[in-house]
Structure 1
Amino acid sequence: MINLHDIRYVRLGTADLDQATRYCVDILGLQKVRALDGAVYFRSDDRDHTLVYFDGDPNDHATGFEISSMEEMEQAKRDLEEAGVSTHWGSDSECEARFVRDLLVFHDPSGNRIELVHRPFHSGWRYFPSRDAGISGFSHIGLRSRDPARDEKFWTRIMGARVSDWIGDSPLLRIDEIHHKIALFPSDRPGVQHINHQVESVDDIMRSWYFLSERDIPITFGPGRHPTSSAMFLYFEGPEGMVYEYSSGVRSIEDEDYRPRQFPAEPLGFCMWGAKPNIKEFK
């Protein structure tokens, strides 16, 4: 079984790179690292980058996960191909564009592009945000799934993830002690469904609620608190319909005897304060 060390980055195509760049800097509050070959890189912690927007199809998404050693990368390739998943090694130019030593590319059963990376770059400079949103780091993603039950088997039996809880048919999956790094939500197409950044406190969430509201950024869910992860949250709309989330206070699971819980696929399963989502996959 594959051992995912951590989630590293998300890459998103965009039809308007300038507009996406302004959003990431002025609204989301990330640090712009560089512009290179039709792509702009942003960071939110000590990683070289955690988000990239590039000139391309807005439906072209990729998520990178770190693997600890080259031996584990090679074993991951064997495990995936034995399971019938087509893989290929990234080219030198693809590795250079991702600032990693090695890259293995495949698609999950729903068609989501997944990139396993070895020796991704870190930054020697302190993360310096473009606005004081309180961001402490990139934390997790929601992925669209054409069949959450089928994809849950793929992510748990092959990719080594573990179910923390379910909301309806949607599993919340952890790869370390953090409640979840991946969530699978029913959809008729693949792609990244939402992108989460952790912030330091509920004060940061409420400051951003006012900040975003004053700038007419659509709030799609919250402020609220998830009964699954215990995190306080705020979801809002980004470029080309991408949903971003700030959250704080996410639960850690270190008990090996922990048993996943089933929550209903209705507002109370998503928020214990009573907020109702305006997000298609949450309805």
Structure 2
Amino acid sequence: MIELRDIHCVHLGTRDLDAAEEFCTEIVGLQSIKRTDTHLYLRAGKRHHSVCYFKGEPGDHRIAFELMDWKGLEKAMVYLKGSGIECGYGTDAESELRFTHAFGWFKDPTGNHIELWVRPTEANRPYHPSLRPTGITGFGHIGLNTTDPLRDQNFWLEHFNARISDWIGPAPLLRVKQTHHQFALFPTSGPGIQHINHQVDTIDDLLKFVYHLQERNIKIVFGPGRHATSGGYFLYFEGLDGMVYEFSTSDRMIIEDDATHRPRQFALEDESFCLFGSKPDIAEFAS
């Protein structure tokens, strides 16, 4: 089994780095910390970056997890290869572009591109929103596409230290540390990231953001509301290249004891996604 410390960041292909920078700084409130001809790095907390856009095809998504053991990359890659999982090492040049010491990659059964990083670069300066106060405290979690939730759930449980916090219908909400979830598997037709979450400090930050989005004519696709699973307040909105972004306070629910925690099964109904009655305009959340 491979032990993961945390989900670290996401890398997304786009044909328009200018639009990516404008949206992520002016709308989301991330800090643009480095841009080249091919890459844009955006900060939201203590890591070098939480989101990176690179010149490529929209839908080309990479998800990075940090390994628990910074000396464990070779062992992890041997394990993946021995388990018959498609995998490989990143090159030194690719590691430099990712701001990590080294990494390997693998494909999950749906075909998602997942990377295992060791010694990723930390921020040497605090996160400062590029244009306005946001209340962002850091990168939170992702929704990850799956073409077979049970198969992919079992893949993560068998090969990694992932645990289930709750289910909504067939979709498991999974964690590799003690906060509620770092990724959730949502059924759809192919690989990719379903949504990107950043955490904010208070519900006030969410409500202020509603008016910010309305002023900029950005479509809100769900919320504001409160999740039945984690108890967190949330807001989902439409992003670049069809990506859904989320702000929430959901990752504060602590799983205190893995041995005694019992995952709960919620029905695939609108009320399971929002206690307040907000209806999601998100295909993967449809009941």
Instruction: Tell me the TM-score normalized by structure 2.
Output: 0.97
3-state DSSP of counterpart to 1:101: strand
User: Counterpart of 1:104 in 2: which secondary structure?
Assistant: strand
Q: Distance in 1 between the 2:269 and 2:115 partners?
A: 32
Q: Describe the SS at the equivalent of 1:119.
A: strand
Whole-angstrom distance in 1 between the partners of 2:114 and 2:37: 21
CA contact (8 A) 2:10 2:64 kept: yes
Q: Which amino acid is the alignment partner of residue 255 of structure 1?
A: D
Q: Quick one: which amino acid aligns to residue 75 of structure 2?
A: Q
Instruction: Determine the structure 1 residue equivalent to 2:47.
Output: 47
Q: Compare 209-218 and 68-77 and name the one that shifted more.
A: 68-77
Give the SS at the match of 1:79.
helix
Per the alignment, residue 256 of structure 2 pairs with 254
Q: In the alignment, does 2:62 pair up with 1:59?
A: no
Q: 2: CA distance between counterparts of 1:37 and 1:105?
A: 24
Structure-2 residue corresponding to 1:103? 103
Shift of 1:70: 4.2
Q: What is the match of residue 284 of structure 2? A: 281
Change (3 A) 1:71 1:126: closer
Whole-Å Cα distance in 2 between the matches of residues 275 and 215 of structure 1? 21
CA contact (8 A) 2:41 2:51 kept: yes
What's 1:163 paired with? 164
Q: Which amino acid aligns with 1:146?
A: T
CA distance in 2, matches of 1:116, 1:258: 27
Deviation at 1:72, TM superposition (A): 2.1
Aligned-partner residue type, residue 262 of structure 1: Q
Deviation of 1:74 (Å): 1.8
In structure 1, the residue matched to 2:25 is 25
Contact 1:267 1:277 in 2 (8 A): yes
Determine the structure 2 residue equivalent to 1:173: 174
Instruction: Provide the residue aligned with 1:145 in structure 2.
Output: 146
Task: Give a deviation string over 1:234-272, Cα, whole Å, max 9, x none.
Answer: 000000110000001531111220100000111011111
- Residues 143-191 of structure 1, C-alpha deviations (whole Å, 9 max, x = no match): 0000010000011110210000000000000100010001000010100
Unaligned runs of 5+ in 1: none
Task: Say whether the 8 Å CA contact 2:136–2:198 is kept in structure 1.
Answer: yes
TM-score, structure 1 length as denominator? 0.98
Instruction: Specify the alignment match of 1:235 in structure 2.
Output: 236
Q: Tell me, in whole angstroms, the C-alpha distance in 1 between the residues paired with 2:38 and 2:187.
A: 32
Alignment partner, residue 224 of structure 1: 225
Conserved? CA contact 1:68–1:119, under 8 Å:
no
SS of aligned partner of 1:105: strand
Partner of 1:36: 36
Contact 1:201 1:249 in 2 (8 A): no
> More deviation in 198-207 or 243-252?
243-252
Q: Give the SS at the match of 1:197.
A: strand
Q: Percent identity?
A: 49
**SS at 1:54 equivalent:** strand
Give 2:273's aligned residue. Answer: 270
| Equivalent pairs, count | 283
Q: Aligned partners of 1:137, 1:236: CA distance in 2, in Å? A: 18
- Higher mean C-alpha displacement, 188-197 vs 65-74: 65-74
- Amino acid in the other structure paired with 2:20: A
Distance in 2 (CA, whole Å) between partners of 1:19 and 1:58 is 13
How far is 1:68 from its partner? 3.1
Alignment partners' CA distance in 1, 2:250 and 2:148: 30
Root-mean-square deviation (Å): 1.0
SS in 1 for 2:85: coil
**Deviation of 1:69 (Å):** 2.8
**Amino acid corresponding to residue 74 of structure 1 in structure 2:** E
Q: Deviations over 1:105-159 (max 9, x none)?
A: 1111100000100000011211111221110000100000000100000111102
Partner secondary structure for residue 186 of structure 2: strand
- Quote the Cα distance in structure 2 between the aligned partners of 1:36 and 1:76: 32
Structure 2 counterpart of 1:189, which letter? G
